[in-house]
Structure 1
């Protein structure tokens, strides 16, 4: 009997380090934020804001690492295959819900291999036009496109982008046909639209607004459900086509299998950062509207958006660049 007790005591002692390890509060080591895009732009600024504020909150190093490639798939795949302890967090953008239908042979399952944390922010998308175009709003654009089918063209920063597929959704909802002219980024598109060689450009509102304010382009409509606070005079597409809503989104995910309490903590701490007046002000400077949701709400959004975009991808015949 004494031998059995001794063995049990030894086993219990051996398990103590494991129990202590399991009980370690999150985070127990440095945290990595994976950005699936190249440095620069709104997503980079958002990641850097989280990096600084979460470091102050967690008292652990927080590092931003860039893993661009394959339309954000490469970086997100790294997160999906990371140790499921919450110390590797991925930033995702709208392509997160488009890629499952746009790209063949995805290396991960968007819903099964990743756990949503929070929708962090949104950014409105603007349809703007050459001053030479004989349309000044969405209603007139639709009428002109129906009057002159297959004659109008629009630029986007790339095939398969939210800007490209947002316009394809508008085409489907309104029954018009407008030729897509994809660019490698929107920088080269603006001179062509301003000169009238391409009729329209679909790009983030923040990027297009300087050209609009300078009188180089005219605004046609914002794709978000509501008007933007930074351009309240520009009407939405939804004011002509009720229910229409397309916007760029930014969210956070971790590997599936991360304990729910850890996911909840990351979500709550990120949402506190987004509520900070200083962070809100900096985000507004780059056209981002902070959101902050529960993991469950972000999961529901992803689950709804994937089939929505699958229909658009199929109808448009879009393929990844």
Structure 2
């Protein structure tokens, strides 16, 4: 694709989502709610997502002088929580958390109860959640190339953990197998705690987890990092290689951001975006997110819409090539 064609395609994608931004130099009027705002998280309480979202909710509460209540609605591969956002009025009083499942589900599931592009208004990309391929210290390989060699030497003898069927780790694991022609058994778990119960004692030798949750175990010498799932080396942890360096096309920047119900008025979307970006600029918030291995992006709504479309295309290709399924 030529540069001109690429620019035209990007412009068309942005227009299709209907998320216009403010003109240059123009400032959004203040959003000042008169009652509590609900922030729906599609995952269980107490996990890495909560550690990112709750400090932001607290600062928004202080800015708006109204409670911002984090409402955890897990289940269905994040579909339950996302549907709760979609079904809410687009009045600013219900927002949602978007993770990579938002961009994976359109390719894996043909029974979504909502249209990702029509029923959701992208609000802002907070940052990226970094996935990590980790291994028990006793595992002979120290990088992805070594893992591939080990798997080829013992076809079907190795297994790898993921944080669930249909997650980025699951699809990436299957894609690696197809790209490099090796076999390894997928063992899905319902979250990090369950996966670590098998990874830490070495009953499952390798697995895809979230870098933030893995770091304490890595620093304690209980796990080692074979590679990160980022497209490029992580700015906060450049010492770790990325899978993309070994197998092109397998890296991804796992989206993490906020969304709103579809068809929200552009001026209201801009108002809320301006307030969230203001909160994300606070040094204490940036420090807290850095502790979760996340660098702040704080994008505009149209920029986040483009990121979501890009990621949907990545997962469409990855699902098709890997043959990954939810059943």
TM class by smaller structure: 0.7 to 0.9
Question: Which range moves more in the overlay, 129-138 or 255-264?
Answer: 129-138
CA distance in 2, matches of 1:99, 1:314: 13
Partner of 1:35: 41
Match of 2:190 among 166, 184, 194: 184
CA distance in 2, matches of 1:152, 1:281: 38
Report whether the alignment pairs 1:260 with 2:269: no
Question: Which range moves more in the overlay, 210-219 or 113-122?
Answer: 210-219
Match of 1:280 among 286, 299, 305: 286
Deviations 1:10-30 (A, max 9, x none): xxxxxxxxxxxxxx9634433
Distance 1:25 1:123, change over 3 A: closer
Q: CA deviation at 1:198?
A: 2.0
Deviations 1:133-159 (A, max 9, x none): 331112222233333332321111211
Match of 1:199 among 205, 211, 229: 205
Contact 1:123 1:289 in 2 (8 A): no
Q: Find the residue that maps to 2:191 and give its secondary structure.
A: coil
Q: Find the residue that maps to 2:193 and give its secondary structure.
A: coil
Q: CA deviation at 1:275?
A: 1.5
Distance 1:149 1:54, change over 3 A: same
Partner of 1:172: 178
Distance 1:221 1:25, change over 3 A: closer
Partner of 1:13: none
Distance 1:244 1:275, change over 3 A: farther
1:80-229 to 2 correspondences below 5 Å: 80-229=86-235
Distance 1:189 1:52, change over 3 A: closer
Partner of 1:311: 317
CA distance in 2, matches of 1:189, 1:33: 27
Q: CA deviation at 1:276?
A: 1.0
Q: CA deviation at 1:241?
A: 2.9
Contact 1:114 1:255 in 2 (8 A): yes
Alignment RMSD? 2.3
Distance 1:56 1:196, change over 3 A: closer
In structure 2, runs of 5+ residues without a counterpart are 1-28
Q: Find the residue that maps to 1:71 and give its secondary structure.
A: helix
Report whether the alignment pairs 1:78 with 2:80: no
1:44-59 to 2 correspondences below 5 Å: 44-59=50-65
CA distance in 2, matches of 1:267, 1:43: 20
Q: CA deviation at 1:42?
A: 2.4
In structure 1, runs of 5+ residues without a counterpart are 1-23
Structure exhibiting the larger radius of gyration computed from Cα positions: 1
Deviations 1:7-60 (A, max 9, x none): xxxxxxxxxxxxxxxxx9634433221112221122213322222222232333
Match of 1:298 among 284, 304, 313: 304
Contact 2:82 2:96 in 1 (8 A): yes
Partner of 1:26: 31
CA distance in 2, matches of 1:100, 1:272: 31
Match of 1:62 among 56, 63, 68: 68
Match of 2:275 among 248, 269, 281: 269
